[in-house]
Chains A and B, each alone.
Chain A
Amino acid sequence: MLKIDIERPMLTSEGKKTLKICSEIEDRELLCLFGHSGSGKTTLLRILAGLTTPSKGKIVYNDTVWFDSDKKINLSPQLRNVGYMFQDYALFPNMSVEGNICFAQKKKDTEAIEGLLELFDLSALRKQKPTQLSGGQRQRVALARALAAKPSLLLLDEPLSALDFEMRSALQHEIRKAHQLLNTVTILVSHDVNEVCSLASSVMTIKNGKVMAQGRPKDIFGEGTFQHYSQFLGEITALSELFLG
């Protein structure tokens, strides 16, 4: 279980605000952080990864204290063992697809690399450099690299924001696959209701740095909205299959 109780001032387009999050996230949950731009979603993700330090509070994951301002504990990102997928994917241009995935491993495990390349359909692209890949391919490499380190927590920062609709629905499937493979907590940032309804087992809505609600997507967005998006998604998928084969 991930327990978060933190505070941190943040600068938004509407001026200074305080990010104040108090929440508990169950094991094996795929949680979507939902909210408008500047609400604090990415800051929370960065705080969990150890890339940004809260001004006060506590973060405990599976009985390990990651951050405690009172006891002056702040584990470095290297010690938290999180898989973080950045908005720009942050693939290293000097390394090939395979090189990027290998780099993430603590000990070289060729079998695991082959498994990941196959799982994300990257075997044919293994020698390509990130600059030679499409947006969707880069997303799959970033996801495979995040998984290669066998993280105990998977953090995805708007992983699908730069992609078109068709690519988004295909890659939502990859994210579900990644979550199932890790069998741990996955936290995903999104400001797209469609994405949240399709992927998440639970949702945390954040507004101006505060948690407005947390629960299942249909409880948060209402049964109607949830069904509407599910039905809409189903229709689009059916149409895509019909026309694109």
Chain B
Amino acid sequence: MNDDFLQTLLLTGKLATITTIILLFIGLPLGYLLAYKRFRFKPLIEALISMPLVLPPTVLGFYMLVAYSPQNTIGHFLEHTLNLRLAFSFEGILVASVLFSLPFMVQPLQNGFASIPRSYREASYTLGKSFFITFTRVLIPNIKPSIITAIAMTFAHCIGEFGVVIMVGGNMPGETRVASIAIYDEVQSLNYDTANKYSFVLFIVSMVILTIIYSINGNKKTF
């Protein structure tokens, strides 16, 4: 196994792990809000979160690339105020990956929260417990299968992400070259052996993750 191969796999794992952690912290409050609260623009927010499910990844990648450009307001602000250049960098593909994997985290969590009877929350409140205690000790433990599903689906989806990453990050070894891009690149260079190695690793990882989900959740409907 050469260094490039390991470096690419490690970068892929790093991107998927950080994306999943960030999305878990975003997804739990967002899933709660969407499951229980009614507000004016809720359908619009739900549509925006679900967009990556139907939108070609290249479309999101294109708009993100435009947004990252220092010639535009967001890119200009990032570069001149925060000294951050997101186009063709790991941070850039991380932001894109977080946005693109949002529905894989939020939807199972939202369904999990929605499946909990309202009386659980209300019982906790009448027992004098705060929102935080109710959230951490009653709600989260009772949506554990949904949390496991959300984490596994997000992680698996990140590992296989191609379109957004190639648009936003290109193919820079050690910075933005993740396994799915490496496969494409190796095939283009007729290096089928290396492409096969990458493909086999992704195949096994995805298979293991899905088997874990199904064995933990059994027949429970969580997404």
Chain B 110-130 interface residues, beta-carbon cutoff 8 Å to A: 117, 119-120, 122-130
User: Closest CB-CB distance, A101 to chain B, in whole Å?
Assistant: 10
Cross-interface CB contact of A93 among B126, B137, B142, cutoff 8 Å: B142
Interface residues on chain B, number (Cβ under 8 Å): 17
Give bound CA distance, A65 to B168, whole Å.
59
For residue B126, which residues in chain A have a CB less than 8 angstroms away from its CB? 49-51, 77-78, 80, 82-84
Q: Residue B67 at the A interface, CB < 8 A?
A: no
For residue A78, which residues in chain B have a CB less than 8 angstroms away from its CB? 125-126, 128-130
Cross-interface CB contact of B119 among A77, A82, A86, cutoff 8 Å: A86
Which residue of chain B has its CB nearest to the CB of A106? B128
Give bound CA distance, A49 to B123, whole Å.
10
Pairs A–B under 8 Å by Cβ, sample size 8: A50-B125, A51-B122, A78-B130, A87-B119, A103-B129, A106-B128, A145-B127, A149-B127
Give bound CA distance, A77 to B121, whole Å.
11
Q: Residue B218 at the A interface, CB < 8 A?
A: no
Q: A49-B126, A78-B130, A149-B127 are in contact. Are A94 and B142 (CB under 8 A)?
A: yes
Which residue of chain A has its CB nearest to the CB of B126? A84
Give bound CA distance, A106 to B124, whole Å.
12
Cβ of A104 and Cβ of B141 under 8 Å apart? Answer: no
Interface of A with B (CB < 8 Å)?
Answer: 49-51, 76-78, 80-84, 86-88, 90, 92-94, 103-104, 106, 145, 149
Cβ of B142 and Cβ of A92 under 8 Å apart? Answer: yes
Give bound CA distance, A103 to B129, whole Å.
9
Q: Encode B122-160 as 1/0 by CB contact (under 8 A) with A.
A: 111111111000000110011010000000000000000
Give bound CA distance, A93 to B143, whole Å.
11
Q: A88-B117, A94-B141 are in contact. Are A103 and B127 (CB under 8 A)?
A: yes
Cβ of A86 and Cβ of B123 under 8 Å apart? Answer: yes
Give bound CA distance, A80 to B138, whole Å.
20
For residue A87, which residues in chain B have a CB less than 8 angstroms away from its CB? 119
For residue B117, which residues in chain A have a CB less than 8 angstroms away from its CB? 88, 90
Cβ of A90 and Cβ of B142 under 8 Å apart? Answer: no
Give bound CA distance, A84 to B129, whole Å.
13
Give bound CA distance, A49 to B119, whole Å.
12
Give bound CA distance, A103 to B130, whole Å.
12
For residue A86, which residues in chain B have a CB less than 8 angstroms away from its CB? 119, 122-123
Cβ of A90 and Cβ of B122 under 8 Å apart? Answer: yes
For residue A92, which residues in chain B have a CB less than 8 angstroms away from its CB? 120, 123-124, 138, 141-142
For residue A84, which residues in chain B have a CB less than 8 angstroms away from its CB? 122-123, 126
User: Closest CB-CB distance, A95 to chain B, in whole Å?
Assistant: 8
Which of B124, B127, B128 lies at the interface centre, i.e. has the most chain A CB atoms within 10 A of its CB?
B127
For residue A145, which residues in chain B have a CB less than 8 angstroms away from its CB? 127
Give bound CA distance, A82 to B123, whole Å.
10
Give bound CA distance, A186 to B141, whole Å.
32
Which residue of chain A has its CB nearest to the CB of B129? A78
Which residue of chain A has its CB nearest to the CB of B130? A78
| Given A51-B126, A90-B117, A106-B128, 18 more pairs with CB closer than 8 A | A49-B122, A50-B125, A50-B126, A78-B125, A78-B129, A83-B126, A84-B126, A86-B122, A88-B117, A88-B119, A92-B141, A92-B142, A93-B142, A94-B142, A94-B144, A104-B127, A145-B127, A149-B128
